[in-house]
Structure 1
Amino acid sequence: MAIVLGPNRYGKAETRLVRVVRDGDTHALADFNVSVALSGDLAATHLTGDNAGVLPTDTMKNTVYAFAKKHGVGEPEEFGLLLARHFVATQPQVKTARVSIESFGWERLGPHSFARKGDYTRVATVLVSDEFEQVVSGVTGLVLLNSTASEFRGFPRDEYTTLPETTDRILATAVDARWRHLSASGDFAKSYPAALEALTSAFVNTYSASLQQTLFSMGSHVLSQRPEIAEVRLALPNKHHYLVDLSPFDLTNDNEVFIAGDRPYGLIEGTVTRDDAPPAAAEWYL
């Protein structure tokens, strides 16, 4: 039996970067969490401890900060491409660079005052090699709720099924979505808010017979509205809301008072894609 080294990568995770753009008295703010991972001809360090091809992860961190000063940051997809292209171009042993960025939002309160937005986080992942460039945008922690226009019935039952059917329920989720771009040269400043709007409007306007149906509607609406996007992957936890029994207090609960459940929760995952879209250059995950 032979023992061999399988796929591997290494890098610097979660480099926190805040970049202030000072345009006179009015400032702009970018707040990123940047993770870099490199893969390629790196077998020697694993097998013999030879570090000749191992760019220090501290260098990756320093590159993030230096590039933020030299080039600015722009959209997270653009900054990720800038970094990934640099590592592939300057390190011959590196065949693929993956840069993942969380972009934290801030709301302007004045020329140089801001309040942190805590409702969701923008994310982006780029993969660059000599053969391909791939850009994935997305959002995580986008909490959405419909107080009606949702049902769940007609499901199979067995001896362990206790869930009653319902024709009127709260539908709530925390959207974790990623969408792959057809090109690495898109207008990400325009594409991102438009894709986000397509996701949320589909959630609002879909009468839901199941969260799976809502997932497909959300992904489909993004693809119908945004021709630059090839596919959408979604993970939708079902944030259960349980009707409170108020009968001990001689009160009727007409779908008005609920307990917001924490766990366990249903988790619905799926991919919606164009049937003519080219396949991904490299696998990507939520």
Structure 2
Amino acid sequence: MTKGGRGGSSGDRTAEIRYGKAQVSFYRTYAKPLRVTPIPESAFTGRENVLFAAEVDVDVFGDTFLDAYTAGDNRDVVATDTMKNFVYTMALEYEGATLEGFLAFLGRRFLETYPQMEALRVRGREAPFVPATSLDANARRVGPSSILFSRSRDDTAVAEVDLAREGPSPRVTAATSGREGMQLIKVTGSSFAEFHRDAHTTLPETTDRPLFIYLDVRWRYADLVDAIGDRVDRYVDPEQIRDLVHCAFHEFNSRSIQHLVHEIGRRLLARCPQLAEVSFEAQNRTWETARVSESDERVKVYTDPHATFGRIGLVLRR
């Protein structure tokens, strides 16, 4: 997306215009249930969507808003409070089952409703609630409740969709899905050795270490139709991606975090041919050893590391 549309001008100056509403939260009950194609690494096959909840950011672009900046002329300005209420209305009207699909629906409706908007970027963060535990009517079997949910503070799905006008019709121009906030500790089966050493190096080599990482994963589809959930048989749910990450981390004896995220990316692209790109942002949060048992070297006490941490990024494309 070209931010600011064509780029407004005022005298000998140019301007890029953007404004919008942030952190619009909504909690929709009884959305359409989601069913997805299973993958071997995940037990996830769908969700009932009794609660479909998210927090949304909206960014609007368009030269028609320039007069609001240069002359205080607000006639074309859609108030951000109006945007908030519009999100609520669209959350009620949405007939789909995915976060990406909702963002695309919301963006299209914004552009259809407000012709002064030239382009739009909408971001969403899932507000996850998981079914609480309940007994069945005979009090004999424990299972998930269909009416009681517990808010999860775990990793969460995210998405971003860009839209622009093509003649009278809005069009999705880009879409990214993701899973953010994973915090994963593997107590054995990771190493870091044979790295470059010089006068500044104090880090010891290790052939087996507990590896604690923070990890965000994002992906793009080859076909935008798959990205926005219109063909759920081609849609990959973020919970499936999370589970595949878990399986790869569990199985793979990595020699570095770089080695690990590349292996995860390789497996993701192999498992999901509809994806064109996967990317990773990882942080090394590995603990420091505080105490070691004298009788069993496996028994140790660890502590959090210093405030600084390593960062690792990777983008893999087909």
Residue 66 (1) aligns with residue 111 (2):
no
Deviation at 1:171, TM superposition (A): 1.2
Deviation at 1:199, TM superposition (A): 2.4
1:167/1:130 CA distance change after superposition, 3 Å: same
1:175-214, aligned counterparts within 5 Å? 175-186=215-226, 188=229, 190-192=235-237, 193-214=239-260
1:1-286, aligned counterparts within 5 Å? 4-21=13-30, 28-41=50-63, 42-72=65-95, 74-109=97-132, 110-130=145-165, 132-133=171-172, 134-186=174-226, 188=229, 190-192=235-237, 193-246=239-292, 253-254=297-298, 256-261=300-305, 263-274=307-318
TM-score normalized with structure 1 length = 0.85
* Separation in 1, partners of 2:251, 2:56: 35
For 1:127, the aligned partner's letter is D
Contact 1:153 1:167 in 2 (8 A): yes
Q: In the comparison of the two structures, how many residue pairs are matched?
A: 269
Cα deviations across residues 184-233 of structure 1 (Å, max 9, x unaligned)? Answer: 32274641133333322222222111101111111221111112211112
For 2:182, the aligned partner's letter is L
Cα deviations across residues 131-185 of structure 1 (Å, max 9, x unaligned)? Answer: 5522211111111121111111111222221111111111111211111122232
Deviation at 1:238, TM superposition (A): 0.6
1:262/1:81 CA distance change after superposition, 3 Å: farther
Aligned residue in 2 for 1:277:
none
Larger deviation, residues 193-202 vs 58-67: 193-202
For 2:281, the aligned partner's letter is A
Contact 2:31 2:95 in 1 (8 A): no
* Separation in 1, partners of 2:31, 2:113: 31
> Which ranges in structure 1 are unaligned for 5 or more consecutive residues?
275-286
Larger deviation, residues 143-152 vs 90-99: 90-99
Aligned residue in 2 for 1:283:
none
Secondary structure of 2:226's partner? coil
* Coordinate RMSD, CA, aligned: 2.5
> Which ranges in structure 2 are unaligned for 5 or more consecutive residues?
1-10, 33-47, 133-144
For 1:53, the aligned partner's letter is D
* Separation in 2, partners of 1:118, 1:79: 22
For 2:210, the aligned partner's letter is I
Larger deviation, residues 209-218 vs 70-79: 70-79
* Separation in 2, partners of 1:13, 1:175: 24
For 1:229, the aligned partner's letter is L
Larger deviation, residues 200-209 vs 28-37: 200-209
Task: State, as a whole percentage, how many aligned pairs show the same letter.
Answer: 31
For 1:266, the aligned partner's letter is G
Contact 1:198 1:225 in 2 (8 A): no
Larger deviation, residues 205-214 vs 180-189: 180-189
Aligned residue in 2 for 1:284:
none
TM-score normalized with structure 2 length = 0.77
Higher relative contact order, chain-length normalized (CA < 8 Å, sep 6+): 2
* Separation in 2, partners of 1:177, 1:27: 23
Larger deviation, residues 177-186 vs 120-129: 177-186
For 1:83, the aligned partner's letter is L
Contact 1:5 1:43 in 2 (8 A): no
